[in-house]
Chain A
Amino acid sequence: MKDTLMRYVVKLVRQALVASIWLSFLTLPIMVIRVDTIEQTVTWRWMHLAYMAVGSFVLALAWYAMMDRRDRGQAKKDLETVERVSALSQFLSDPRFAKPLMAFGFLVAAAFPWFFSLYQTNILVSAMIYVVLGLGLNITVGLAGLLDLGYVAFYAVGAYTYALLNHHFHLGFWAVLPLGAVLGAFFGILLGFPVLRLRGDYLAIVTLGFGQIIRLVLENWGDFSYGPSGISNIDRPGLFGINYSVEQATTYIYYIMLALVILTIFVTARLKDSRIGRAWLALREDEIACQAMGIDNTRAKLMAFALGATLAGLMGVVFAAKTTFINPASFTFMESAMILAIVVLGGMGSVLGVILGAFMLMLLPEYLRAFSEYRMLIFGATMVLIMVFRPEGLVRAKRKVYKINVEAAG
């Protein structure tokens, strides 16, 4: 026993050593040399190599150990025919426990702004916006399997709807909120029509193009959208004409968002098990079989685009009201990629997963602020690591199991 452990450790160390040497070699020129091509001077920074060697050795050790665990887990899973249900998930799905747990969670969420600082509340509002965006994209990508890389366009539509209407006609937040949703849906269908025939990555690039077109138009059509300088002084949501301070307004938006998040969770959870939800799942698995089953593919696809876009439009309005300033820089392709990462990282199709994913991807960079310039480096590495070690996402989506009681029927 002791012997095998020793052998295992030796193997790990050897692997890590090789990896560390390779990585040190790989990063050598970039880590060590810095050139100034004008002054023609070269700076050598050999200390960096030492850091890299030690750092990569430790990381490689952890990597191989985790890889081993993962592969063993995978092998075990392959042997089992029945999917194991862990105690925790059983516990979570049992209504006796789940309901009080949810109630507790709600209470914590409701009390949050009273105990935490403005900053905490503020970033939580951002995170909640992304929860809803994630859930919206989850409909298109996670349920219906349509890869949308231009989702942020609908978000922009919502945000500009509120910003422009507020700027020109002083329309309030509550009046524009449904309007933003409707316009979002309209643009969703607008995009949906031409891409009905496309599949997979061709669909992805067209949606990407659509997202870029919307942003470029906002950037260049200055008379309409005020171009890159954006629209400032957008009103925060009001209630019977009371003026709030920033802190109060943030708390107010926090509760609005909390309500919207709960509503969205409820709606998407119900949608998933509904007729159209099952149609989407069928569409995702196999388009042709789905059609053969008598499902109207066109309608199902358009519905998926429209519903996803509706939520994005809704969130755009909240976003504009929250930041009080918008410009096209907030709606880049990277934003779409982040929302997609939320969905995939959290677990495609899983509501809980998307929520976790959104919190993780939005809050992680904020809490990593302590690392200042290394922040995004760690963030990128985390994304890779999560995907490698949990390729299905943080929470694996569960399909609803319909139990038929044979004896009773017979």
Chain B
Amino acid sequence: MKAKWFVTVLAVALAGMLAVGCGEKKEEKKAEAPKQEAPAAAKKLVLGVAGAQSGDLASYGLPSVNAAKLVAKEWNAKGGVNGMMVEVLPMDDQCKPELATNAATKLVSEKVSLVIGHICSGATKAALPIYKDAKVVVMSPSATSTELTQSGSYPNFFRTISYDLIQGNAAANFATGVLKVKKIAVIHDKGDYGKGFAESGQKSIEEGKLAKVVMFEGITPGGVDYSAVIQKIKASGADCVLFGGYYPEASKIVVQMHKKGLKIAFITDDGVKDDTFIKLAGVDAEGVYATGPQILADNEVFKKAAAEHEKEFGSAPGSFFAQGYAAAQTLLNAVAKAGSTDYDKVVAALRSEYVETPVGKIKFDAKGDAEGVSFSVYQVKDGKYVLVK
């Protein structure tokens, strides 16, 4: 008896959930109707933030949510954007393509017109067609796949981070041009981001013909021990390591390289140019080179945002916080300048209005990449990333 009772309750609950979903939708439709008649009258502006907010990649997605909240708070304290109170709507996708499409359709169904996200390039690629169809402006703080902007197939996509090709070239040119190394071992974390960076770096090195790629290999992320690959680098006679990936793996490799007495130049990407890397690797982080957007550390906006974060959430900001903050700033600024959330006007404003952000004074080019983010190489010195002149 109880068994069937349980199933009945479950069925009713599911039906109820569906009904609630339906009800919500109807309400929105009602709310939407007067929108055209009375624009911007004590309305709210919903800023969707999509990305990995649970699961093992959550640490890359949650900082953007915090960043968006901080920017929203700042605008709201000033009376909102064009009188509209900004509300942040986080949408989890765990960096999985199928969940990204769910998140995207959810945001589209809720008539959200501005989205920060997604975090991973794969999830972003899966979600973009849905946003494109619904004319939603999407700005990613962290999706670096070259084709997202350069293929030109997503006019609604923008990003506040530079893409793999530029980063890979910058790192390769630095290695061959400035450090003048001859044999380079290219290592990546088998991920979308890391491998993209490593491949463009490899290509650039091979085309430049100034150095040789002696090794190109992927390591398993989350591993406890990379000694085998380190011995292999050693045996290959490389005098420089080019690593594509994120800081957890980078710090493990650097620490273990030093333990094994392998002290050669280590050049890596924006995903490692994070203070957490220095914390994780400790003294072994000294001397590591990383490419990244220029004025990050001594940028006034960033300092202020980081202080706000400390005050609001009680901890230092995490990965892609600066980029997420910049995305929220530029999006809201564009709405303010455009005077409405109209797609064409917002896009036009994004392409024409410069904004002071933690990643520099930026606007966006026709393809959606940020202009004004100058790229340079940093080196860890005394526990800090310092610009290499």
Contact = CB atoms under 8 A, between A and B. Distances in A.
A and B, direct touch (CB closer than 8 Å): yes
Contacts of A88: 4-5, 7-8
Interface in A49-94: 69, 73, 84, 86-89
A367 B21 contact: yes
Contacts of B108: 118-119
Contact of B21 (A38, A89, A120): A120
Interface stretch (B95-103, B333-341, B343-351): B95-103
Contact of B17 (A230, A250, A367): A367
A52 to B, nearest CB: 18
B372 interface: no
Interface stretch (A5-13, A143-151, A388-396): A388-396
Interface in A360-410: 360, 363, 366-367, 369, 372-373, 375-376, 390, 394-396
Interface in A93-138: 115-120, 122-123, 126
B307 interface: no
Interface in B63-83: none
B309 interface: no
B98 A330 contact: yes
Contacts of B227: none
B136 to A, nearest CB: 11
Contacts of A84: 1
Contacts of A229: 121-122, 145, 192, 195-196
B151 to A, nearest CB: 9
A124 to B, nearest CB: 9
B354 to A, nearest CB: 31
B165 to A, nearest CB: 13
Contacts of A87: 4
Contacts, number: 138
Interface residues of A, number: 55
Nearest to B199: A222
Nearest to B316: A36
B192 A230 contact: yes
B7 A230 contact: no
A375 B125 contact: no
Interface string A242-284: 0001110010000000000000000000000000000000000
Nearest to B14: A359
A228 interface: yes
A219 B279 CA distance: 30
Interface string A217-242: 00110100001111011000000000
A394 B7 contact: yes
A323 interface: yes
Nearest to A245: B133
A129 to B, nearest CB: 9
Nearest to A70: B2
A324 interface: yes
Interface in A299-345: 319, 322-327, 329-330
Chain B interface extent, by class: 35 or more
Given A84-B1, A228-B191, A375 B14 contact: no
B4 A119 contact: no
B126 A220 contact: no
Contacts of A376: 54-55
A86 B108 CA distance: 44
- Most B CB within 10 A of own CB, among A115, A322, A323, A324: A323
B217 to A, nearest CB: 10
Interface in B24-78: 25, 53-55, 62
A156 interface: no
Contacts of B122: 228-230, 325, 327, 329
Contact of A325 (B21, B97, B110): B97
Main secondary structure of the interface of A (DSSP, over half): helix
A126 B126 CA distance: 14
A118 B105 contact: yes
Interface in B120-161: 120-122, 125-126, 129-130, 133-134, 145, 147, 153
A117 to B, nearest CB: 4
A232 B6 CA distance: 43
Contact of A360 (B10, B21, B25, B102): B10
Given A88-B8, A228-B195, A330 B54 contact: no
Contacts of B25: 116-117, 120
A356 interface: yes
Given A220-B190, A229-B145, A119 B55 contact: no
B91 A369 contact: yes
A247 B20 CA distance: 21
A380 B67 CA distance: 28
B210 interface: no
Contact of A120 (B109, B133, B145): B109
Nearest to B148: A232
Nearest to A117: B109
B190 A375 contact: no
Given A230-B97, A329-B122, A119 B102 contact: yes
Nearest to B100: A323
A43 interface: yes
A43 B192 contact: no
A323 B55 contact: no
Nearest to B102: A123
19 contacts: A88-B4, A116-B18, A119-B106, A120-B18, A120-B22, A123-B105, A227-B190, A227-B195, A228-B195, A230-B122, A246-B129, A323-B97, A323-B98, A323-B100, A326-B97, A329-B97, A359-B14, A369-B106, A373-B62
What 6 pairs between A and B have smallest CB-CB spacing? A119-B109, A325-B126, A88-B4, A117-B109, A246-B133, A122-B105
Given A247-B133, A322-B101, A394-B10, 19 more contacts: A38-B279, A43-B314, A87-B4, A115-B22, A120-B21, A230-B122, A230-B125, A232-B126, A246-B129, A323-B98, A325-B97, A356-B11, A366-B106, A367-B17, A369-B92, A372-B92, A373-B54, A373-B90, A396-B3
Interface of A: 38, 43, 69, 73, 84, 86-89, 115-120, 122-123, 126, 219-220, 222, 227-230, 232-233, 245-247, 250, 319, 322-327, 329-330, 356, 359-360, 363, 366-367, 369, 372-373, 375-376, 390, 394-396
